[in-house]
């Protein structure tokens, strides 16, 4: 059994804030499974199986959304690890990452909390840093804006499409971690980069004005036809 703890704050006020991106990943896993959340005193939980196939039962996973607010996340997560007799190696924490640009995603094992107070509290109560994290970049705030205010701000309209892609890939990565291990998930998803690309510069020089189009009837040469 594995435990995936998605960090965030409870309540409608925080539902679409940057700090709650981990909850979006957990909600996507539950949606894909056609399951539902069970509310407990200090967390919402959902038991499901990931990686099921013909002849393969898959991996049993407990998804957890702490209801203790971010700074006391460990109070919800650590007792569940104890209750299910799980080790730190069975834990994946899905978190926002202020130090990574929006659109980047990284899985790592261990390390300091990096100022993320939910991770800080889990480390404090668990007594070790040696658990996996899925870090989803939310970017540093613009100059002059308080980081504490920034993480509690809502996503801009133009960020919603890449956010949906990031959440979907985050759910994929969490599933691979649970069923195939950390290294497999790192190899597949640590190169994720959904940052907007600047527009390509205009073509200049001897080929200026040449139109390039795809044509399935043209053989070889990359199926490119120059007109």
Domain ranges of the chain: 2-189
The predicted model scores a pTM of 0.85
Q: Which of 106, 78, 72, 102 is nearest to 90 (CA)?
A: 78
Q: Is 11 left (phi over 0), alpha (psi -120 to 50) or beta?
A: left
Helix (H) or strand (E) holding 194: none
Is 69 marked as a binding-site residue?
yes
Cα separation, 133 vs 97, in Å, equals 10
Rounded-to-integer distance, Cα 107 and Cα 173, Å:
8
Flag whether 71 is marked binding: yes
pLDDT digits (tens, 9 = 90+) for 32-63: 999 999 999 999 999 999 988 767 888 999 99
98, 115 Cβ separation under 8 angstroms: yes
108 membership: H or E segment, kind and range: strand 105-109
In the predicted structure, residue 212 carries a pLDDT above the cut 50: no
Clarify whether 19 is annotated catalytic. yes
**So what's the pLDDT on residue 223?**
36
Between CA 210 and CA 227 the distance in angstroms is 7
Cα dihedral 147, 151, 152, 158 sign: positive
Asked whether residue 190 is marked as a ligand-binding residue, the answer is: no
CATH superfamily of 2-189: Peptidyl-tRNA hydrolase (3.40.50.1470)
Report which of residues 206 and 1 the model is more confident about: 1
Could you tell me what percent of the chain has a pLDDT over 90?
78
Catalytic residue among 2, 18, 19, 135: 19
Q: How far is CA 19 from CA 1, 7, 24, 151, 198, in A?
A: 27, 8, 10, 5, 27
Residue-wise pLDDT for 102-113, tens only, equals 999 999 999 999
Tens of pLDDT, residues 144-198: 899 999 999 999 999 999 999 999 999 999 999 999 999 999 999 998 899 877 6
226 pairs with which residues across the strands? 212
């Amino acid at each position: 059994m594995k435990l995936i703890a998605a960090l965030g704050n409870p309540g409608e006020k925080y539902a679409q804030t940057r700090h709650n991106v981990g909850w979006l990943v957990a909600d996507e896993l539950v949606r894909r499974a056609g399951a539902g959340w069970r509310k407990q005193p200090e967390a919402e939980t959902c038991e499901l199986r990931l990686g099921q196939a013909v002849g393969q039962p898959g991996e049993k996973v407990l998804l957890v959304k702490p209801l203790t607010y971010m700074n006391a996340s460990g109070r919800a997560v650590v007792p569940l690890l104890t209750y299910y007799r799980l080790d730190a190696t069975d834990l994946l924490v899905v978190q926002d990452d202020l130090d990574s640009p929006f659109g980047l995603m990284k899985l790592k094992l261990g390390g300091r909390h990096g100022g993320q107070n939910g991770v800080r509290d889990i480390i404090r109560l668990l007594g070790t840093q040696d658990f996996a994290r899925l870090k989803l970049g939310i970017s540093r705030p613009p100059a002059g804006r308080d980081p504490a205010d920034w993480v509690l701000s809502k996503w801009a309209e133009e960020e919603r499409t890449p956010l949906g892609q990031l959440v979907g890939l985050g759910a994929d990565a969490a599933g691979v971690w649970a069923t195939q291990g950390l290294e497999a998930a790192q190899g597949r998803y640590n190169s994720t980069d959904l940052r907007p690309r600047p527009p390509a510069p205009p073509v200049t020089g001897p080929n200026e004005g040449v139109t390039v189009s795809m044509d399935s009837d043209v053989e070889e040469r990359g199926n490119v036809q120059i007109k």
